[in-house]
Structure 1
């Protein structure tokens, strides 16, 4: 990319072009997957000049990398229900709602697949999850301060444990993704917290 997307003026033409292109890219990814992502088609769908898209993003991988950056920028703020159990349940439900959304579920499948095929996209995907985990980490640290989790409990490990069963069902087993799954994931994490399984060593 020739410019830092995070440095563009909010609401300016560059920001509008970026938003249109990333929306188009996300739609095509959700519909067809990473292997069929074509920059010329993205430009046409976004009603942006093909030269602009090729100059700024260069490759499908470059486009997906920026899409992941945008998704991180727009990450939903952490819940603050007043209890660790409530926060983890809210987190599980957010993951569930995202993965079961008709567009977002397919989009996450596509970007995860892209991350397995392209090193730069893999880095961007990990950065996306780093941002998300950092955003929600205070749920756990606040829980520690309230005495709901042992001192030394690792927020990243806890949040990963909440999300993992949901991603497993989406990507591996194909088992139903529903509210019961989200509750079980949060409750299992709480049981493990109480047992000290997530204390950093």
Structure 2
């Protein structure tokens, strides 16, 4: 009898020990709070010091967590940057829908210009691009980000095709890639500023190219 009672007690304990007791926080909630604090601290450090001075130690201190917590989950600064980038993938891209591809491409280009004018976003991308040279995590995150963003922005081009503004065999994603190319060349190769004037020229060039027969699927 005592043996059966002991067995039942052990079974009850095993069934209830993993449940949060009244007043206790679920581990998942604590984990999410740590994640939110660490990513917010990473953004703040990027804004204050840029990618070159980003360290796990600074992020942990700003987030109020142990360095070991950051190292265990993110491993290094590349892990922090790639998670920030994946956060952006989960946000919707506002798309212009003016009824004119000329206006829509211009608005998309201005959006790119203003996005990279933000010091946090610029530092984030320059950091991930630098890391992608030698770290597959960063390279994968970049591919995921641009695949998602190009696909979303391509909807503006698809609408123009349906309206008859562009040839039926236009490749919408290639048009968006052409639109963004001048920005990345300036940021990564010539280290020139990107601004609204660059955006205007990029939009005009992309539109002229697609109207001339470039960026087709065949």
Q: Report what 2:16 is aligned to.
A: none
Q: Report what 1:148 is aligned to.
A: 165
CA distance in 1, matches of 2:133, 2:92: 22
Q: Report what 2:140 is aligned to.
A: 123
1:180 to 197, 206, 209: 197
Q: Report what 1:33 is aligned to.
A: 51
Q: Is residue 95–residue 163 contact of structure 1 (8 Å, CA) maintained in 2? A: yes
CA distance in 1, matches of 2:177, 2:147: 11
Shift of 1:191: 0.7
- Alignment size in residue pairs: 189
Q: Which moved more, 1:16-25 or 1:184-193?
A: 16-25
2:179 to 162, 178, 183: 162
- Residues 1:38 and 1:69: Cα distance change in structure 2 (over 3 Å): same
CA distance in 2, matches of 1:141, 1:191: 17
Larger radius of gyration: 2
- Residues 1:55 and 1:175: Cα distance change in structure 2 (over 3 Å): closer
Q: Report what 2:8 is aligned to.
A: none
Q: Is residue 99–residue 170 contact of structure 1 (8 Å, CA) maintained in 2? A: no
CA distance in 2, matches of 1:84, 1:131: 21
Q: Report what 1:42 is aligned to.
A: 59
Divergent runs of 4+, >4 A? none
Q: Is residue 79–residue 136 contact of structure 1 (8 Å, CA) maintained in 2? A: no
Q: Is residue 50–residue 120 contact of structure 2 (8 Å, CA) maintained in 1? A: no
Tell me, yes or no, if structure 1 residue 85 matches structure 2 residue 85.
Answer: no
- Residues 1:37 and 1:192: Cα distance change in structure 2 (over 3 Å): same
User: RMSD value over aligned CA atoms?
Assistant: 2.0
Unaligned 5+ residue runs, structure 2?
A: 1-28
SS for the counterpart of 2:192 is coil
